[in-house]
Amino acid sequence: MFLYTRMLFSMGVSLYTSRVLLQALGVEDFGIYNVVAGVSLSITFFTLSLTQATQRFLNFEMGRGNDENVSRVFSLSLIAFAVLGLIVLIIGWTIGEWFVVNKLVIPPQKLSAAITVLHVTIVSFALTFVFTVFESVVIARENMKLFAYLGIVDAVGKLLVAFLIQLSDERLVFYALGLMAVQVIPRLVTALYCLRKYPESRPRFFWDFKMFKEIFTFAGWNVYSGAVWIIAEQGANFLLNIFFGPAVNAARGIANQVFLAINNFINNFLTAIRPQMIKRYASGDFDSMKELLYNSTRFAFLMFFILTLPIELRVSYILSIWLDIVPEFASIFINLLLIQGLVATLNYPIIIVNNASGRLKNPVLYGSSLQMLQLPLGYIAFKFNAPPMMIYIFAILSNMLYNAVNYYFASRAINLSLKEYSVKVFYSLSCAVIPAVILSVFVNALIPETFIGFVLVVIISVLITIASAFFLGITRSERIVVVAKAKEIMAKMRR
Q: pLDDT grade, residue 266 (50/70/90)?
A: low
The per-residue pLDDT for 456 is 94
The pLDDT tens digits of the residues spanning 71-82 come to: 888 888 788 778
Sign of the Cα torsion 203, 179, 48, 242 reads negative
Backbone angles phi, psi at 130, to 5 degrees: -70, -45
224-242 average pLDDT score? 82
337-341 average pLDDT score? 87
Instruction: For residues 145 and 6, give the distance between their C-alpha atoms in angstroms, rounded to a whole number.
Output: 9
Instruction: For residues 20 and 177, give the distance between their C-alpha atoms in angstroms, rounded to a whole number.
Output: 17
Which residues, 6+ apart, have CB-to-CB distance to 163 below 8 Å?
A: 20, 24
Q: Is 119 left (phi over 0), alpha (psi -120 to 50) or beta?
A: alpha
Instruction: For residues 255 and 50, give the distance between their C-alpha atoms in angstroms, rounded to a whole number.
Output: 25
Rg over alpha carbons for the chain, rounded to the nearest Å, is: 22
28-37, 233-242, 391-400 — most confident range: 391-400
Which residues, 6+ apart, have CB-to-CB distance to 334 below 8 Å?
A: 254, 255, 258, 259, 311, 315, 319
Instruction: For residues 273 and 292, give the distance between their C-alpha atoms in angstroms, rounded to a whole number.
Output: 8
The per-residue pLDDT for 34 is 66
368-385 average pLDDT score? 89
Residue 48 pLDDT more than 70?
Answer: no
The pLDDT tens digits of the residues spanning 412-467 come to: 888 888 899 999 999 999 999 999 999 999 999 999 988 899 999 999 999 999 99
The per-residue pLDDT for 427 is 93
259 versus 394: which is more confidently predicted?
Answer: 394
The pLDDT tens digits of the residues spanning 269-318 come to: 677 778 888 888 888 888 889 999 998 899 888 888 988 899 899 988 88
The per-residue pLDDT for 235 is 87
Instruction: For residues 365 and 354, give the distance between their C-alpha atoms in angstroms, rounded to a whole number.
Output: 13
The per-residue pLDDT for 294 is 92
The per-residue pLDDT for 465 is 92
Instruction: For residues 314 and 331, give the distance between their C-alpha atoms in angstroms, rounded to a whole number.
Output: 9
The per-residue pLDDT for 484 is 87
Residue 47 pLDDT more than 70?
Answer: no
The per-residue pLDDT for 6 is 67
3-12, 344-353, 442-451 — most confident range: 442-451
In percent, the amount of the chain with pLDDT more than 70 equals 88
Maximum separation of any 2 CA atoms in the chain, in Å: 68
The pLDDT tens digits of the residues spanning 153-206 come to: 877 887 888 788 777 777 777 877 887 888 788 888 888 888 888 888 777 777
Give this prediction's pTM. Answer: 0.71
The pLDDT tens digits of the residues spanning 127-148 come to: 877 787 888 788 778 777 777 7
